[in-house]
């Protein structure tokens, strides 16, 4: 086992990505230098933000270079280490990439406890998406008892946690998701007060019914029509947590946005959120939420695809909402 498989970016997409922008290649498994660790990958995380990394546009992170390994969070088992903090057999999570084996500086890795929450959860409910939901609701949303909170992409990795945090805060929580099965999950399993199936109903009328007192907090993951319809319902002092706009990521031209007069009149607070700006939130959230995962009170759902080679298709799918829950690619078996 001296070679690894990796997925590299061949070219940048125009509009919706197609599988042929990626290629699967083999090369030798790297050996660690001083301060580095080599792992075999257990899980890759697939997240909508990755669409941004494919583009050449200036953004909060540099784009993936052409010919480079596609970037993303992974969980892996250490197989070689030249850092005193890590030993073979340790399981770690970190921002890495789409490959069966990876080498990284040890400083980007966090060691995971054995016998606690499943390793995969450190990519979802306890990882970047869960921390994003926590940071957004804590720093911007601040939902109060009696307020109405709308969560887009409510069955997804971020939305599912954001809504459960709002429920714990005593708010009335309305999810929006695509399809009856997702909506059932959002209401029955996650415990949101309502869930609107944006594929089945007249969104405008459904929002009137579900949010008869207006909307105080909107957790924005999707953009598009839903954003427009929520915006005009935002109450005085409403907050809009701008986490993502996945419905517009494949657009080649920007759509018009909402007229901002309502921001003045209603003293709205609209703020963008990239969780890596607040790295301290990760450990904070893991400490807070791990007991909730272990006692079953914080619900989550994983959508696991097998095989590194299926990662490109998984990413294409998440941009159209094809996943159901936190999307992961299983690359290797959990360690014994």
Distance of alpha carbon 227 from the chain centroid = 19
> CB of residue 158 vs its own copies: minimum separation in angstroms?
12
Q: By C-beta, is 166 or 273 nearer to its own copies? A: 273
> CB of residue 22 vs its own copies: minimum separation in angstroms?
23
Q: What are phi and psi of 303, to 5 degrees?
A: -120, 100
Tokens standing for residue 61: 């992170």
Q: By C-beta, is 178 or 244 nearer to its own copies? A: 244
Cα 159 to Cα 219: distance, rounded to the nearest angstrom: 8
> CB of residue 41 vs its own copies: minimum separation in angstroms?
28
Q: What are phi and psi of 229, to 5 degrees?
A: -75, -35
Cα 200 to Cα 179: distance, rounded to the nearest angstrom: 7
> CB of residue 36 vs its own copies: minimum separation in angstroms?
30
Q: By C-beta, is 183 or 234 nearer to its own copies? A: 234
> CB of residue 197 vs its own copies: minimum separation in angstroms?
24
Cα 217 to Cα 239: distance, rounded to the nearest angstrom: 5
Q: By C-beta, is 212 or 259 nearer to its own copies? A: 259
Cα 159 to Cα 164: distance, rounded to the nearest angstrom: 9
Q: By C-beta, is 3 or 59 nearer to its own copies? A: 59
| CA distance to 95, 119, 296, 310, 335, per residue, from 84 (Å) | 20, 22, 35, 34, 21
Nearest C-alpha neighbor of 95 from the set 136, 64, 125, 140: 64
The bridge status of strand 172-177 relative to strand 194-197 is parallel
Give CA torsion, residues 124, 3, 62, 311, to 10 deg. Answer: -40
Q: By C-beta, is 245 or 328 nearer to its own copies? A: 245
- Placement of tokens 């579900």 in the chain: 210
Q: What are phi and psi of 227, to 5 degrees?
A: -60, -45
Q: By C-beta, is 255 or 322 nearer to its own copies? A: 255
> CB of residue 237 vs its own copies: minimum separation in angstroms?
8
> CB of residue 249 vs its own copies: minimum separation in angstroms?
8
Query: Under the rule (CB under 8 A), what is the footprint of its own copies?
Result: 52, 59-60, 220, 223, 227, 236, 242-245, 248, 254-261, 263-274, 277
Q: By C-beta, is 30 or 52 nearer to its own copies? A: 52
CB neighbour burial string for 75-89, b if at least 16 within 10 angstroms, e if fewer: bbbbbbbebeebeee
> CB of residue 269 vs its own copies: minimum separation in angstroms?
5
């Amino acid at each position: 086992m001296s070679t690894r498989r990796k997925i590299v970016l061949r070219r940048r997409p125009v509009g919706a990505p197609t599988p042929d922008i990626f290629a699967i290649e083999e090369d030798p498994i790297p050996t660690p230098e001083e301060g580095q660790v080599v792992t075999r990958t257990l899980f890759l995380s697939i997240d909508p933000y990755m669409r941004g990394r494919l583009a050449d546009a200036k953004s909060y992170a540099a784009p993936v270079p052409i010919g480079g390994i596609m970037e993303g969070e992974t969980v892996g088992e250490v197989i070689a280490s030249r850092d005193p903090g890590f030993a073979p057999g340790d399981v770690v999570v970190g921002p890495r990439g789409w490959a069966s084996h990876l080498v990284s500086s040890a400083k980007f890795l966090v060691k995971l406890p054995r016998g606690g929450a499943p390793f995969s959860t450190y990519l979802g409910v306890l990882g970047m998406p869960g921390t994003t939901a926590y940071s957004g609701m804590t720093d911007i949303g601040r939902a109060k008892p009696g307020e109405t909170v709308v969560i887009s992409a409510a069955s997804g990795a971020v939305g599912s946690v954001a809504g459960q945090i709002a429920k714990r805060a005593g708010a009335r929580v309305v999810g929006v998701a695509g399809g009856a099965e997702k909506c059932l999950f959002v209401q029955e399993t996650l415990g949101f007060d309502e869930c609107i199936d944006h594929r089945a109903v007249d969104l405008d009328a459904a929002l009137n019914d579900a949010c008869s007192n207006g909307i105080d907090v909107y957790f924005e993951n999707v953009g598009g029509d839903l954003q427009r319809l929520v915006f005009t319902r935002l109450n005085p002092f409403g907050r809009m947590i701008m986490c993502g706009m996945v419905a517009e990521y494949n657009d080649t031209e920007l759509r018009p946005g909402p007229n901002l007069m309502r921001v003045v009149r209603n003293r709205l607070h609209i703020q963008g959120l990239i969780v890596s700006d607040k790295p301290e939130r990760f450990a904070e959230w893991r400490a807070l939420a791990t007991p909730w995962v272990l006692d079953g009170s914080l619900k989550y759902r994983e959508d696991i695809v097998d095989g590194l080679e299926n990662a490109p298709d998984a990413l294409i799918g998440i941009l159209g909402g094809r996943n159901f829950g936190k999307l992961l690619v299983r690359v290797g078996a959990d360690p014994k």
